[in-house]
Structure 1
Amino acid sequence: MDDDDYWNTSETKAKAFSFDDDVLSPQEILAIGQRSYSGSKEEGVLSSNISSVKPAHIPLSSLVSPKILDLMVLAQSGNDPAKETKQEPEETVAITLKRLVLGRRCSLHVHRSLKSKTELLDGAIAIGDGNAILTVVLFLIQTLNRKVVYELLSSRPAALGHYISTLQSEGKISELTDFLTMLGRSPDSAIYQFQHAVKNQGNNLESLLRKMSNLLANHFNQPGVDAHQTKMVADYVKLLEWQNFAKKTELNNKSALQCLAYCCSFHWTEGAGNMMSPLTLCQRQQISPLQYDWVVLNVHANSNKWDIVESLFTKKDWFGRTTVSSHIPIETLLSRLSELKASERMLASCVNKIAGTEDRLRLAQKYKIHSVVIETLAKQKDRAALTNYKMTLNPQSEEYIYAENTLRDSSIKWKN
């Protein structure tokens, strides 16, 4: 048999070594190390040679390749390299922000340097995600000096606003005021205290009055506080004092105008100087004449006390004509009187006060004040327009007859 034929036989192939894969599995390496070669001549020679030399002088690397040695150690440890998981990527600022926005678990504590923490905050602000911003801000408060945190937030209004809103919504007013005071924003701190006290006052009017008086003295009367805000709180303290005097629970938590409406309804005849008089309350709370007129109009008109309304808003001139006198703009007054179902006579008095002929005619037609429309068209000597307007009125009605008589008036020199 030729050499080629010998190596190509199946029996020989089965016994031959394969050099295609020189990497053995850990189990195969262990099996080789544990296999017994007793009876083999080669084994005896090798054993005799090795036994004649001290083991300490034979380096293990001369017997086994480093690659196989590593596999043997790995096999002895019981670990399978195929099952080893891939190492997690390094937690960068970008990865942390991505996980925050997606709502995934992440550890902010891997970011230890101030630079990394600042980048986290700026990145969250750039993304614009409120939850991410607030999470980073709370992390900074936990891990940085308060002064450093305040410096970071003071130059970043978006982050500052989220943190302030959170403290306010959670009712942490002491922490909020301390925070704003440290930022040098004492006036804002006072306003938040004012809002919190008003919102949570309950029915204890005396307790609220004490709190407001202390706020006014200790915070709003300090340099740098806006004068308008100080006046607002001072007026509110006066209102609380008045409500405390009135001893009416239905007036608690009410505005000055609501208290004025109460006085107009139940103490209208009280003279000036009496605490419950509408005029006294107006002077005490500096209610403007426009506000006073508006409240009086609505209170008495809704109670159908038109005599009071007319006595306040109309007067006679030197020629005996009725005119309107009010601080309310005339068109606004006319609109409200129409909504309140005022008489046509009173509406006519309002419309006649309007100087412009075109505006007077337009508003008279809008609110169906027929007498004013007829008189205005007659003054314009517009016979055709008055005739057309008469056709829109109910026949035999008072305004129809008035229009017809006006058209028959021979003293009017009609232009058409």
Structure 2
Amino acid sequence: MSRTKVDEEEYWHSSKFKAFTFDDDDDELCQLKESKRAVNSLRDIVDDDDDDLERVSWSGEPVGRRSRLGSFQSLSDALSDVPPKNYAPELRRPKGEYKDYSSDWSLSDTVRRLQKGKVCSLERFRSLQDKLQLLEEAVTIHDGNVITAVLIFLKRTLSKEILFRELEVRQIALRHLIHFLKEIGDQKMLLDLFRYLDRTEELALSQYQEHLNIQDPEKRKEFLKSCIGLPFSVEDAAHVQDHYTLLERQIIIEVNDRHLESSGQTEIFRKHPRKASILNMPLVTTLFYSCFYHYTEPEGTFSSPINLKKTFKIPDKQYVLTALAARAKLRAWQDVDALFTTKNWLGYTKKRAPIGFHRVVEILHKNNAPVQVLQEYIRLVEDVDTKLNLATKFKCHDVVIETYRDLKDRQQLIAYRCKVDKASVEEEKIDGILSSTQIRWKN
């Protein structure tokens, strides 16, 4: 009996035997796991806020809206519910029956999703009008992160000219873009933006910031020199000029001091080797360095502290603070004394401290000045309470005893006698004062 064409195809495409595999026993379990993963993948396909997609159980029956935490069964439950041969139940209707949800989000929906931190593609906004409406919607909700996210999209999809033109009339978005460009260090686009907006001072400052990327001191110096003519404000122009002059000085000092240190012929460099280069250091650090290594140099040299003070118009208080810290660190007490000694036109000397002698005492103590030095400056503190507090704090007993004596405060002197060592010089001094008949005590 001859076979029909249909029978022949069925014969050649069918078999009573299965091909041998090593996974026969696990085949059903694997397919069930695949079905389970397919169901779980619905969480990624459908947003929590959408109700249009029909959910189904493992038996293929529709179920109600799932909760935010998910209402799918565990794999063990699935294994117990599914008939042996029901490998992959129908999970959902064909794809063609569902809408493309991402293309249906309105501007407000898109912005709302961005605000919630959800993944959201902006590529569907292709026309300039749509992009600008999206930006305006982001600005409306006053969320900086959303505004920045939209600006990043516009920066990538619009030409600079169009982007700058549109942001010029949208100041809030413009400020966010400027901040973003500064944060990511996109100096080129920032310069282009300021140039387009004709904001010359900001353009100059932004260009000046480029010096931070130049490591070579000579090249940085030349770059700073080229910045001097840029349209800065008066204050900023002075700052740039000082920066250039300072770096120029530092280069000269560094070359000279490196030679002195390597030669080993200068005592200060032998006793106190330099810990770092002076290049690119702030002005105050440079002044401290000069007060430490070049304090006695004549004013005509670039490394002289007095030269730095006059060149950069350093205030007296700042100069005294810095010089005091440097000389105290070296325990050069004579230099410290000279720093506060002034002469009037009659030739009389007087101690004067523009920073206040109470601060002088604190700095000296921080640098481990001996008690004799501390006492000398504590005595110069005018306020009595401050003087007593400092003297007590730093155990300058003579100052405390003398102050209570001058105040004619017998009770305080007796009380302080208990705080000094027995049979000490201080105790004997207190006893001598207490026994004096020439003092008219007030208590």
C-alpha distance in structure 2 between counterparts of 1:186 and 1:404, whole Å? 76
State the match for 1:412 in structure 2: 439
State the match for 1:392 in structure 2: 419
Structure 1 residues 100, 247: closer, same or farther in 2, change over 3 A? same
State the match for 2:49 in structure 1: none
State the match for 2:121 in structure 1: 106
Structure 1 residues 156, 343: closer, same or farther in 2, change over 3 A? farther
Tell me which amino acid in the other structure corresponds to 1:336. I
Q: What secondary structure, in the 3-state scheme, does the structure 2 residue paired with 1:251 have? A: coil
Matching residue within 114, 118, 125 for 2:132 = 118
- Displacement of 1:290 after TM fit? 1.7
1:36-91 C-alpha deviation (Å, 9 max, x unpaired) = xxxxxxxxxxxxxxxxxxxxxxxxxxxxxxxxxxxxxxxxxxxxx96342324533
Moved more, 91-100 or 387-396: 91-100
Matching residue within 234, 237, 246 for 1:239 = 246
Preserved CA contact (<8 Å) 2:417 2:430 = yes
Structure 1 residues 398, 228: closer, same or farther in 2, change over 3 A? farther
Matched, 1:186 2:213: no
Preserved CA contact (<8 Å) 1:314 1:325 = yes
Q: What secondary structure, in the 3-state scheme, does the structure 2 residue paired with 1:296 have? A: helix
State the match for 2:314 in structure 1: 287
Identity of aligned residues (%): 28
Matched, 1:137 2:151: yes
Matched, 1:159 2:184: no
Q: What secondary structure, in the 3-state scheme, does the structure 1 residue paired with 2:235 have? A: helix
Residue pairs, 1:256-405, within 5 angstroms: 256-314=283-341, 324-405=351-432
Q: TM-score, normalised by structure 1?
A: 0.70
Moved more, 239-248 or 163-172: 163-172
State the match for 1:17 in structure 2: none
Moved more, 246-255 or 227-236: 246-255
Q: What secondary structure, in the 3-state scheme, does the structure 2 residue paired with 1:368 have? A: coil
C-alpha distance in structure 1 between counterparts of 2:174 and 2:435, whole Å? 78
* Count, aligned residues: 327
State the match for 1:85 in structure 2: 97
Matching residue within 213, 230, 244 for 1:200 = 213
1:124-174 C-alpha deviation (Å, 9 max, x unpaired) = 345455443223113334555645533553465553344224333444322
Q: Which has the higher helix share?
A: 1
Unaligned runs of 5+ in 2: 1-91, 259-276
Tell me which amino acid in the other structure corresponds to 1:193. Q
State the match for 2:225 in structure 1: 213
Q: What secondary structure, in the 3-state scheme, does the structure 2 residue paired with 1:110 have? A: coil
C-alpha distance in structure 1 between counterparts of 2:121 and 2:199, whole Å? 34
Unaligned runs of 5+ in 1: 1-80
C-alpha distance in structure 2 between counterparts of 1:311 and 1:189, whole Å? 48
C-alpha distance in structure 1 between counterparts of 2:99 and 2:250, whole Å? 71
1:248-277 C-alpha deviation (Å, 9 max, x unpaired) = 371211122222222223222221112222
Preserved CA contact (<8 Å) 2:125 2:131 = no
C-alpha distance in structure 2 between counterparts of 1:145 and 1:153, whole Å? 12
C-alpha distance in structure 1 between counterparts of 2:180 and 2:138, whole Å? 17
C-alpha distance in structure 1 between counterparts of 2:383 and 2:278, whole Å? 44
Structure 1 vs Structure 2 CA RMSD: 3.0
State the match for 1:149 in structure 2: 163
Q: What secondary structure, in the 3-state scheme, does the structure 2 residue paired with 1:359 have? A: helix
Preserved CA contact (<8 Å) 2:110 2:120 = no
Structure 1 residues 156, 404: closer, same or farther in 2, change over 3 A? farther
Preserved CA contact (<8 Å) 1:153 1:159 = yes
Preserved CA contact (<8 Å) 1:322 1:349 = no
C-alpha distance in structure 1 between counterparts of 2:344 and 2:291, whole Å? 27
State the match for 2:73 in structure 1: none
Moved more, 132-141 or 293-302: 132-141
Structure 1 residues 410, 283: closer, same or farther in 2, change over 3 A? same
C-alpha distance in structure 2 between counterparts of 1:113 and 1:246, whole Å? 58
Structure 1 residues 187, 345: closer, same or farther in 2, change over 3 A? same
Structure 1 residues 388, 322: closer, same or farther in 2, change over 3 A? farther
Structure 1 residues 110, 117: closer, same or farther in 2, change over 3 A? closer
C-alpha distance in structure 1 between counterparts of 2:297 and 2:122, whole Å? 70
Matching residue within 185, 189, 196 for 1:175 = 189
Tell me which amino acid in the other structure corresponds to 1:86. Y
C-alpha distance in structure 2 between counterparts of 1:246 and 1:274, whole Å? 10
- Displacement of 1:207 after TM fit? 0.9
C-alpha distance in structure 1 between counterparts of 2:317 and 2:222, whole Å? 32
- Displacement of 1:208 after TM fit? 0.9
- Displacement of 1:92 after TM fit? 0.9
Preserved CA contact (<8 Å) 1:194 1:212 = yes
C-alpha distance in structure 2 between counterparts of 1:108 and 1:127, whole Å? 21
C-alpha distance in structure 1 between counterparts of 2:342 and 2:166, whole Å? 66
Preserved CA contact (<8 Å) 1:263 1:276 = yes
Moved more, 378-387 or 92-101: 92-101
C-alpha distance in structure 1 between counterparts of 2:381 and 2:344, whole Å? 16
Return the index of the structure with the highest Cα Rg: 1
Q: TM-score, normalised by structure 2?
A: 0.66
Tell me which amino acid in the other structure corresponds to 2:222. R
Preserved CA contact (<8 Å) 2:250 2:280 = no
1:349-378 C-alpha deviation (Å, 9 max, x unpaired) = 333333333333333333332222212211
C-alpha distance in structure 1 between counterparts of 2:248 and 2:161, whole Å? 41
